[in-house]
Structure 1
Amino acid sequence: MNRATLLNLFKQGLGDLLEAIDHALAKPNRDPYAEADPERRPHEHDTRLLFVDELLGHLGWKRGAGGNVLEEARLQDATTKFMDYVGVVDIAGKPLLLVEAKAWDKPFVSARAGGAFESEADLIVAAIQHVRDGKSEDTSPAIAEWHKYLRQVEGYVRTLKEQYGHDLPRAMIISGEWLVVFKRPGETFLGVAVPDDIAVYRREEFTAQAGEIFKLLHRSSLTQDAPIPLRPTQLRQFVELADVAGAFRGVHVHYNHKAASSLFAPRPRISIYPATFVIRKDDVIYTVIDNDTPVDLDYERDDAGGESLTAHLHTIDARSTALLAACAHEVGGALPIPPLATFPGFPSDAMAKTFVGDLAAANHWLVATGDSSHFLLEEPRVADCRFHTWADCGADAIGQSAVSVRSVELRAFFIDTQRHHCAHQVVQDRRAGKCLIDPIDSRTCCQVCVFLDHCWTPAEKADLPCGQ
């Protein structure tokens, strides 16, 4: 749907919403269990139900299961904070829009007695600086409630930046009677605040300013969703070469956990599809996947009669290279491949960066591997480590026996004595909560994983028993 159509639908929806709100406010018996009060105005919960929820819907944001809005989103800092609404790239993904809802009758921003400012935006700038200077609310240039509001939003913006690495594109404080939009909240609350970066609207202005509100807050203005996966030929619909921050190789992983026959125990099968993740400069991720026949992860016998991943890895690398070249051809130039550490991250419940992203279906993942074409190496970094074998781990062996067959229950794809298997309990204990590929395989040796340097600090790596 093009922008003109979206704008027209928003104007129509906003008009209908405001009309319905006026009708609801005119009823003296909105609460059937209380004495009729024609002057009563909705409290915060009612304001959210009557107005904010509906407005977000008209602005292209979807609440609920499978939506793109988190409600009461938790931020873990020195204290736990809860944000009313956060519009995200995908559910639990990168934050795009912070919404703080206030009760209907909460006062519009105003100066304390004796204060004079050219505009409400100028007053808000002064009040934000007062907050950043650590001064108390009783000396704020704005009334006390607005000092609290601004301090609250400042805390959210700062935590998102410092704890999670997110530059919030947009924020707003809203009641039914007024709306304040921060066009560049990171700069306004953490950098240099200027009045031009703050838009202020009263309810009677909403209709006349619908175009501006749409431009600032509609989901299509803050991100451009792309289907997963894209074909290389679809890339130009979403991104131009000048807007590309980088491209990262990766894979799509499908873990098949069902047995071919109900008469036998299930054995895991892992299928790999090469992928390229093209990153726009605003950190939006476009996922391009080679949807040709998947390549099953497995050893082959080498010339010496041993087991090797060489053939599998070479096949994935060749197809990954071809896919990256196809993407570059479609956007009209070479795609930069920055270090994996700069990857913006897939959505996660913690709003933190992760190289392994869940898809909607169970046992499906996207894995960003940077300039590598696979998350596995051909050989361990540590040669001749005996801890691939359970019996050689001695008292530090995992469990009561070796993993002799591939197991769905244990998530053990590689088995005892194989070079990609780890049987050491100390490593297993230390990787708990740290290993990015644990949902795919819980016993993979860390020394064959491309994420080794991202999971372990130098001191932690030096402390591993590998090869000792």
Structure 2
Amino acid sequence: MIEAARITAFEKALRTAFTQFKAEEEVIRAKHAAAVQSGSLRVPLDDDALLERPTRRFLIDPMLRALDWNPDDPNQLQEEARSWAENGDRLYFDYLGVSRQRAPTLLVEAKGADSVSARPPREDNISAPRMSELLSEALVKLKTGDKPGVLAQWVAWLKDLRTYVASFSEADRSTLKRVVITAGRWLIIFRNPLTAFINDSCPDSTEIHCYVSPAEILERHREIYSLLDRRRLIDTLPLTMTLGEALQVLKPEAVTQAYRGMVVATRMTGGRRSEFPHRVVYPALVLLSGGRAFAVVDYNPNPAFEPREASQLRAFIAELTAKADHFQERVLNALNRIDLRMAPASDFPINIREPELGGAFAPELGSTVALAPTAPNRPQLVRQTGERNAQYEFLVITGQSWFYKEAPLTGPECAFHNFPIAKKRGVAGVQGRFEYVADSFTTSDDPQNCEHADLLGVRRSRCQMLQIESHLCCRACIFHGVCWDAAELGRLPCGK
């Protein structure tokens, strides 16, 4: 869907939400009155509480969904998210929008539909520009300890918002793009949360966007969309996409490098008592653009299945290469970038990594991580695709090759492909690899298999393929020159 269509859909969703709420309002108020009459609702303390839930259901949830923040997906939007105030009190956010890396991005505080919008005491409704100025002045006075010139209820709400933002760590504050408070029929967006709630400086009133009525929300829906749409606040593009999807979002002239790769998907099949894995391989072209990697994948209906017999590996690689070469030509022609040359895997930038990996701080001296051998900083060439419910689905960036296993092997002859021999030599693990599993597609005596337990321990901190191939022989893997420096190859047991 193009941007103009998304904006139109957003306006339609808002209009539908207001209409549906109006249709249900009489029933909601009847239930509210009955609760007051029966004594189950205290007045005025709980007068607004009963209306918050239907407000969220009929007004706020539809707005957020139309902005691509799905309340039913906790990976996008978390309801009643928890935090802690500086004094130790537990806090609950009505909605917390997060990025793919779980970083806070959007904080939404919901109020009941009858809640009054921001205004000075003893004044009726005010215009949106006046409301922005009033909130800016009120926040300055809160920071200096003076009395804000807004309704007492709004003083409490602004204090709450300050507490919420302050409860985030410094790193999380840096990713928080917007803070919103809304009762559905009015909406206030703080475009710069740190300036508004944390920094000592005076918030710029032009960065506090107020919409005082349903009519104004509808009239200025484009502005609201541009401020809150999920695609405009965070990178929502997936790691993997089809060629058609890639042509919609990637600018051909912005592609700086290209690598061959594949998506490797492993699934269990068979009967409940005799399950076994099968592995599907989809060719991919990995493109660097805007400091990110994108994999254009050939998700064709007749994919290549990796053979379970090692003797068939060479024929499989030849067939896969023929299909993949054709796909590469198709992608480059579609992008009009036949000038791109496939770079070796060793050239893949180290700084383009999954954000979940690594950390902002070094481990403390004496900790387990600090004491462990430090693995050299290498490019990350294997990563999960991020597809839902796809634990064993990985993108493998292979550079100038089309598959990560080699046939025949490189290097000297080795006896440690075989578990009985490795056991006889005293270097085998407790149990050999005699059947295929989801994270190992080699078995004892396969030329690509390794049963040397000592080596498996050494390679654990450096192996690119560990999540897919726990027992893959390093000499059978195209990454052995990436994982092992030339001076370190002597540590491999091959030929010893």
- TM-score, normalization by structure 2: 0.62
Do structure 1's residue 274 and structure 2's residue 283 form an aligned pair? yes
Q: 1:158 to 1:424 in 2, by over 3 A?
A: farther
Deviation by residue 1:341-390 (Cα, 9 ceiling, x = unmatched): 45464999x9xx98122534657624141635456242888866665443
SS in 2 for 1:355: strand
Q: Which amino acid aligns with 1:407?
A: Y
What is the rounded CA distance, in whole Å, between the counterparts of 1:245 and 1:392 in structure 2? 46
Which residue of structure 2 lines up, in the alignment, with residue 369 of structure 1? Answer: 397
Which one of the candidate residues 34, 37, 43 is aligned to 2:40? Answer: 34
Q: 1:286 to 1:153 in 2, by over 3 A?
A: farther
Which residue of structure 1 lines up, in the alignment, with residue 334 of structure 2? Answer: 330
The Cα shift of 1:175 comes to 3.7
Deviation by residue 1:204-256 (Cα, 9 ceiling, x = unmatched): 64344333213322456558988998553554333332455765543222335
Highest Rg: 1 or 2?
2
Which residue of structure 2 lines up, in the alignment, with residue 237 of structure 1? Answer: 248
What is the rounded CA distance, in whole Å, between the counterparts of 2:351 and 2:222 in structure 1? 36
What is the rounded CA distance, in whole Å, between the counterparts of 1:330 and 1:184 in structure 2? 40
Q: Which amino acid aligns with 2:281?
A: I
Q: Which amino acid aligns with 2:422?
A: D
Q: 1:285 to 1:399 in 2, by over 3 A?
A: same
Q: 1:172 to 1:403 in 2, by over 3 A?
A: same
The Cα shift of 1:41 comes to 0.9
Do structure 1's residue 62 and structure 2's residue 70 form an aligned pair? yes
Q: Which amino acid aligns with 2:189?
A: V
Which one of the candidate residues 302, 305, 308 is aligned to 1:296? Answer: 305
Q: 1:372 to 1:215 in 2, by over 3 A?
A: same
SS in 1 for 2:448: coil
Q: 1:16 to 1:290 in 2, by over 3 A?
A: closer
What is the rounded CA distance, in whole Å, between the counterparts of 2:410 and 2:81 in structure 1? 41
SS in 1 for 2:15: helix
Q: Which amino acid aligns with 1:6?
A: A
SS in 1 for 2:158: helix
What is the rounded CA distance, in whole Å, between the counterparts of 1:7 and 1:195 in structure 2? 26
What is the rounded CA distance, in whole Å, between the counterparts of 2:137 and 2:480 in structure 1? 51
What is the rounded CA distance, in whole Å, between the counterparts of 2:402 and 2:83 in structure 1? 33
Q: 1:367 to 1:55 in 2, by over 3 A?
A: same
What is the rounded CA distance, in whole Å, between the counterparts of 2:255 and 2:134 in structure 1? 38
Which one of the candidate residues 254, 273, 281 is aligned to 2:265? Answer: 254
Do structure 1's residue 176 and structure 2's residue 183 form an aligned pair? yes
Do structure 1's residue 16 and structure 2's residue 19 form an aligned pair? yes
SS in 2 for 1:413: coil
Moved more, 227-236 or 237-246: 227-236
User: Are the equivalent residues in 2 in contact too, given 1:140–1:147 (CA < 8 A)?
Assistant: no
Q: 1:314 to 1:140 in 2, by over 3 A?
A: farther
What is the rounded CA distance, in whole Å, between the counterparts of 1:258 and 1:383 in structure 2? 36
Which residue of structure 2 lines up, in the alignment, with residue 119 of structure 1? Answer: 133
What is the rounded CA distance, in whole Å, between the counterparts of 2:415 and 2:140 in structure 1? 65
Do structure 1's residue 398 and structure 2's residue 429 form an aligned pair? yes
What is the rounded CA distance, in whole Å, between the counterparts of 1:81 and 1:432 in structure 2? 41
Q: Which amino acid aligns with 1:34?
A: S
Deviation by residue 1:50-85 (Cα, 9 ceiling, x = unmatched): 643343234343333698534456899x99998654
Over aligned residue pairs, what C-alpha RMSD do you find? 5.7
The Cα shift of 1:6 comes to 0.9
User: Are the equivalent residues in 2 in contact too, given 1:172–1:179 (CA < 8 A)?
Assistant: no
What is the rounded CA distance, in whole Å, between the counterparts of 2:141 and 2:251 in structure 1? 40
Which residue of structure 1 lines up, in the alignment, with residue 61 of structure 2? Answer: 53
Percent identity of the aligned residues? Answer: 19
Q: 1:416 to 1:106 in 2, by over 3 A?
A: farther
* Structure 1: stretches of 5+ with no match in the other structure: 131-136, 302-306
Do structure 1's residue 209 and structure 2's residue 220 form an aligned pair? yes
Q: 1:457 to 1:407 in 2, by over 3 A?
A: closer
User: Are the equivalent residues in 1 in contact too, given 2:109–2:180 (CA < 8 A)?
Assistant: yes
What is the rounded CA distance, in whole Å, between the counterparts of 2:327 and 2:488 in structure 1? 37
Which one of the candidate residues 171, 176, 182 is aligned to 1:159? Answer: 171
Q: Which amino acid aligns with 2:283?
A: P
User: Are the equivalent residues in 1 in contact too, given 2:94–2:110 (CA < 8 A)?
Assistant: no
* Structure 2: stretches of 5+ with no match in the other structure: 121-129, 150-154, 360-379
What is the rounded CA distance, in whole Å, between the counterparts of 1:18 and 1:464 in structure 2? 72
The Cα shift of 1:34 comes to 1.3
Q: 1:87 to 1:148 in 2, by over 3 A?
A: closer
Do structure 1's residue 420 and structure 2's residue 425 form an aligned pair? no
- TM-score, normalization by structure 1: 0.65
Q: 1:121 to 1:431 in 2, by over 3 A?
A: farther
How many residues align? The count is 433
Q: 1:183 to 1:263 in 2, by over 3 A?
A: closer
Q: 1:155 to 1:373 in 2, by over 3 A?
A: farther
Q: 1:420 to 1:44 in 2, by over 3 A?
A: farther
User: Are the equivalent residues in 1 in contact too, given 2:280–2:305 (CA < 8 A)?
Assistant: yes
Q: 1:199 to 1:107 in 2, by over 3 A?
A: same
